[in-house]
Structure 1
Amino acid sequence: MKKKQFSSLLICFLAFFLTIQLHAQVGIGTVTPNASSVLELQSTTQGLLTPRMTTAQKAAIASPANGLFVYDTDLKAYSYYDSSSTTWVNITQGRTNFKRIKSTDVLATVLAAELAAGGGSKYLLNTSTLYEINGTIAVNFPIELNNAYVVGLDSNEDKLVRTTGDLFTGTTGGTIKVLTLVASTGNVFNINGGGTQNLIFRDTVIASSANVGVLQSFSLIFASVIQFVGNTNGIIYRDVSKLLLDNQAWFGNNTGTFEKYEGTFATIQKQGGFSDVNGAAIGVDVSSNPSVANGIMYSVNFTGTLTTGLYVKPYTVGTYTGYGFDNKWEVNSSGIPLERDISAVGDVNFDLAVGSGVLTTLTTGVPVKIAGTTTANNFFRASNGSTDNRLLYLGNKKRFFTVNATGSFQATNAANTIYVFYIARNGTVISRSKTYLFTTNTTDLFAFPLQCAVELSPNDYVEVFAERFSGTSNMLTVSLSLFMK
């Protein structure tokens, strides 16, 4: 009897000891769990599988404990419950407005809500939601951005492809980054932003598409580090308040018109990058005469072998022979002419036989414009304003010019006469430009030179004036040349 009692007591003691050990530390796959752990798992062939459920199933858990941990199969994210805020927190990507779309996903499932929101005819993305594209996604309906963020991790690997129809449509903007975009038979973009939307796309490749497309009526479009490869037709930008194009790379295997500007723009700024224009292609088309308040094209490299194509298809009004843009543009890019206000130039002149000069009647102490029919030459951002002896500045910004004038004349009588010659701005003589000349006979030819730095605003003009300081003679002008640069 005593022996049986002892055995029972020993069994109870061992059970109690093992229970203490089990509650203190547990090892699975190891007999020596780490001293700091309650539970340690070790395996080189298996993993830890947490409960998996949809977002709806997760939300239906009754009275979840603080820190309860599950995997959300809709969001493809691990979630834990935070009782202080009574919400589920996704820990995989650190944000709740997130969806990862993989090439193995069934779009009808992963984008079911977006397709329903788009009436079954398009994917209307959730506003302010980040959609991460993993791999090549073949899209069977067009996408409306709806001010969402569509991003990839590697534009060589992460692609959105639409084999039939347009890729991005609708009336809203958003953000597109680090992706390759393909619309094999349609438009990559066919969006009308209604004048209020913004679109940002950067670090993106647009390739093998029938049309890059149309973006119109946007408040802002910012496109940076974009590669265009093997597209049949390019893009039309229409009625955009601020159009900012940075480092656009148009490769020589694109055809059609690469970029066309139509309508009204507050700002177009195109900077960096290149357009390799070959054959019948057109690099930039402004032939519709877009209204641009401030246009800038700097450091764009235009190259290629043209047949019937053009680097720039120019404005049909408001430009100058051999140039592409109107006076609102500042253009400094290789391969095309320099077009800036600083390059404005103009020249008017006449040259008559000695003895047959043009009479200018002078009044002592009152400057008057020298008479004569001048011929206009070498105008860029300048004209004669359909007026003789005049150069009119037609640039966009105020700047300084060096104005030069020379003339030859004969006196109309032999009386001793002192003449004064000036450059005049807007009909008012510039005193610092004056030159005096003294005559004593009617047989000699007298020449006068004038030079002056003159500040001109758009539509200001300069002319050559003369007056009689003393004496009674008038002047027969044989030649006159007025030049500004």
Structure 2
Amino acid sequence: MKINSLLIFLGILVSNLLCAQVGIGTTTPNASAILDMTSTTQGVLTPRMTTAQRIAISNPANGLFVYDTTENAFYFYKSSVWIKLDSNIRNNYKLIKSAADLSAELTAGGGTKYLLSSNTLYEINGTITLAQPIDLNNAYLTGRDTNEDILVKSGGTMFTGTTGGNIKNLTLTVPGGTLFSLTGATTQNLIFRDCIVSGCNSIGSISGFGVVFLSVVQFLGNTTGITYNNITNLLLSNVAWFGNNTGTFETYTGTFTLIEKASGLCDVNGTAVGIDVSSNPTVTNGVMLGVSFAGSSTTYIKKYTSGSFTGFNFNKNWSVNCPGIPKESDDVATGYYNMNGNATNTAFTAVNTPTKILGTTTQSNLFRVTAANNRLTYTGSKPRNFEIICTGTVDHTTGGNRVFAYYIYKNGVQQPSISAERRFVNNDIGNFTLIGSVFMNVNDYIEVWVENQTNDSSTLLTKLSVSLR
């Protein structure tokens, strides 16, 4: 009996060897496998050993496979090196392929919103139709293909709450609804980049955050834009509002430490408005550079109603240099006044004693400069050098020969380097010119003064023009 069993075993072994296949748990091993193990209740255990034991293996063969119990990880040997097999799945990661994959977040949000887990990366794959708003809760929401990874919410609001987070590489659309209704604290930051926003009734509002950063965002076919309110640092880079949007693109209200808007496009047509600052927001430092304004709208900027100058849009805390709207910065501050046909005699208290030229002047072309009678005051935000050009006409028809000297005064102090002298004979009318440069701090002012070097008789200027630039 024992001999028969041995013969049968040897026969099976020889048969398997001849077939070059072994089946465990199956009598029909797969033709492509030298070893086919089949089970629904058991697995395979590889050799288990400590790190010290693994390293101590003598002359390990390429492909040798063991489980390291010290590190709780599989290793295989390749080209004289032990390679650890790690999972490629990120920690704090969740793949979203339908709204059902957000069921735990919906439960966390009490059934009224998707409350994301903070510091977790949510990868959107495909088109996801949302039933409720999203509370970012300082999570990371991203796609891999902006045109294919899409969040949709029909009506209502897509993003709500008091926290920030990161939104990237997505198309966002809220037909009949609002994209943002966010009111955060100064400790909260929102980053929104590399996205397309289309078909929204309103982009909505973002308020109260410490940092809001938009970069490479396209707005297409939206009914109206966004309001930014009370944000410490608002950073906008390469944001494009195309001509198929309507309404007002960006409205700034409240208080900002910094608004920096660089490059991008603002294409507004008809009654649409590019930027609305008519509520006179308090901005410590506003910078707008390289943004192209285009379209048929007559109101690219709904201007400051206080602190702006005729023909300009912003107050002195802004530096603006964008195609399509006036340049505004301290380096282009300018002022001009003239006196023509409204001359007044200027009397002297004594010979060789300068006095300010009297007369009513009319100002024009003012930017960050204010004007009163024979006075231009610089009202920009930073000190700078100015060029002064002054011309005048003197009517000297009585009193005999005279010698007059003319000066530019700054803050009531004579500037000797900007002066001129003119000699008159009786019944003479003549001109004088002052040209020079002066350094002016904020709120410094200049005036034109005259000195009679012959006696204390008065003088009459019939024309006076002063330009500061």
The TM-score range, normalised by the shorter chain, is 0.7 to 0.9
- Corresponding position of 1:360: 347
**Residue of structure 2 aligned with 1:153, choices 144, 147, 153:** 144
Match of 2:97 in 1: 102
- Which structure 2 segments of 5+ residues have no match? 42-47, 52-66, 75-83
Match of 2:389 in 1: 404
CA distance in 2, matches of 1:26, 1:452: 102
- Aligned partner (choices 113, 126, 132) of residue 135 of structure 1: 126
Q: Distance in 2 between matches of 1:214 and 1:260?
A: 9
Partner residue in 1 for 2:277: 286
The CA deviation string for residues 85-138 of structure 1, in whole angstroms up to 9 with x for no partner, is 7899995544211101003xx52xx32332232222111111111000001111
Letter in 1 for 2:305: T
Aligned-pair distance for 1:455?
1.7
Post-superposition Cα deviations, 1:299-339, rounded to whole Å, max 9, x if no partner, equal 22222223xx6222122222222322222222222222222
TM-score, normalised to structure 2's length?
0.82
1:234-262, Cα deviation, whole Å (9 max, x unpaired): 11111111111111111111111111111
1:44-87 deviation digits (Å, cap 9, x = unpaired): xxxx9999xxxxxxxxxxxx9999xxxxxxxxxxxxx9965789
Look up the SS of the partner of 2:346 in the other structure. Answer: strand
Query: CA, structure 1 residues 25+405, in 2 after alignment: closer, same or farther (shift >3 Å)?
Result: farther
Please report how far the alpha carbon of residue 226 of structure 1 lies from its aligned counterpart in structure 2 after TM superposition.
Answer: 0.6
CA contact (8 A) 1:242 1:265 kept: yes
Q: Is 2:442 the counterpart of 1:442?
A: no
Residue 283 of structure 2 aligns to which amino acid in structure 1? V
Any gaps of 5 or more consecutive residues in structure 1?
34-38, 42-47, 52-63, 68-80
What one-letter code is carried by the residue in structure 2 that aligns with 1:286? Answer: V
What residue is the counterpart of 1:172 in the other structure?
163
Q: Which residue of 2 aligns with 1:71?
A: none
Q: Alpha-carbon deviation of 1:156?
A: 0.6
Aligned match for 1:378, one of 365, 379, 385? 365
| One-letter identity of the residue aligned with 2:301 | V
Which residue of the partner structure matches residue 58 of structure 1? none
> Is 1:111 paired with 2:106?
no
Amino acid at match of 1:436: E
Counterpart residue identity of residue 435, structure 1: A
- Do the aligned partners of residues 415 and 471 (structure 1) sit closer, same or farther apart at CA in structure 2, a change above 3 Å counting? farther
The code of the aligned residue for 1:116 comes to T
In structure 2, how many angstroms separate the alpha carbons of the residues matched to 1:90 and 1:367?
91
The residue that corresponds to 2:201 in the other structure is 210
Distance change in 2, residues 1:472/1:211 (3 Å): closer
Displacement of 1:21: 12
**Identity of counterpart residues, as a percentage?**
43
Q: CA deviation at 1:25?
A: 9.4
Distance 1:392 1:468 in 2: 26
- Shift in CA distance, 191/411, structure 1 to aligned 2, threshold 3 Å: same
Post-superposition Cα deviations, 1:131-172, rounded to whole Å, max 9, x if no partner, equal: 000011111111111111000001111011111310000000
CA distance in 2, matches of 1:357, 1:145: 70
Number of residue pairs matched? 435
Distance 2:432 2:252 in 1: 49
SS at match of 1:218: coil
CA-CA distance at 1:436 after TM superposition: 2.7
**Aligned-CA RMSD value:** 3.6
1:412 to partner: Cα distance? 8.3
State whether residues 164 and 188 of structure 2, in contact with CA within 8 Å, keep that contact through their aligned partners in structure 1: yes
Deviation track 1:28-47 (CA, whole Å, cap 9, x = no partner) reads 645686xxxxx799xxxxxx
Name the SS for the 1:112 alignment partner: helix
Aligned residue number for residue 300 of structure 2: 311
Task: Determine the C-alpha separation between the residues in 1 that align with 2:408 and 2:281.
Answer: 37
Q: 2:340 aligns with which of 328, 351, 359?
A: 351
Residue in 2 that maps onto 1:300: 291
Report Cα offsets for 1:210-236 as digits up to 9, x if no partner: 111000111111101111111111111
